[in-house]
């Protein structure tokens, strides 16, 4: 892995035992506060806060790295679905200012009614089908 760029950033100093895979620009990491079994993060080596801060090459490599993480989870955890997302900026819920993509496996029965997925960040707007 490349040299860390921020002395205080937990993603610049990852726990080696939680690194699942490495790619040219990203590493795949077990989430320390998993919301479901297999919850994984795709993290750039470079300390950047947002997708816009990535180079064009890094942006092009991001989604293939996410798909690779999903394939690994398909094999190891056999989930029934996924939520894949990024919390960007304080208003978007980002607590670690180092870009990371959540790959969250979902399982039948993990929520009584999972419809609406990430829309539930605004509960009054989530149920659009009723």
**Contact present, 77 and 38 (Cβ < 8 Å):** yes
Is 100 considered catalytic here?
yes
Catalytic: which of 39, 98, 100, 102?
100
* Closest to 2 (Cα-Cα) out of 44, 34, 38, 31: 44
Instruction: Report the chain's terminal Cα–Cα distance, integer Å.
Output: 48
By annotation, the residues acting in catalysis are 100
């Amino acid at each position: 892995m490349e040299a860390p760029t921020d002395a205080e950033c937990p993603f610049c100093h990852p726990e080696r035992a939680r690194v699942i895979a490495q790619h040219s620009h990203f590493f795949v990491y077990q989430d320390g506060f998993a919301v479901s079994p297999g919850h994984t993060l795709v993290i750039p080596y470079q300390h950047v806060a947002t997708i816009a801060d990535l180079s064009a090459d890094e942006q092009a490599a991001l989604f293939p790295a996410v798909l690779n993480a999903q394939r690994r989870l398909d094999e190891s955890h056999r989930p029934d679905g996924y939520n894949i997302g990024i919390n960007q900026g304080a208003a978007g819920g980002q607590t670690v200012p180092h870009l990371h993509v959540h790959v969250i496996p979902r399982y039948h029965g993990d929520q009584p009614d999972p419809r609406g997925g990430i829309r539930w960040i605004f509960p009054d707007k989530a149920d659009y089908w009723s």
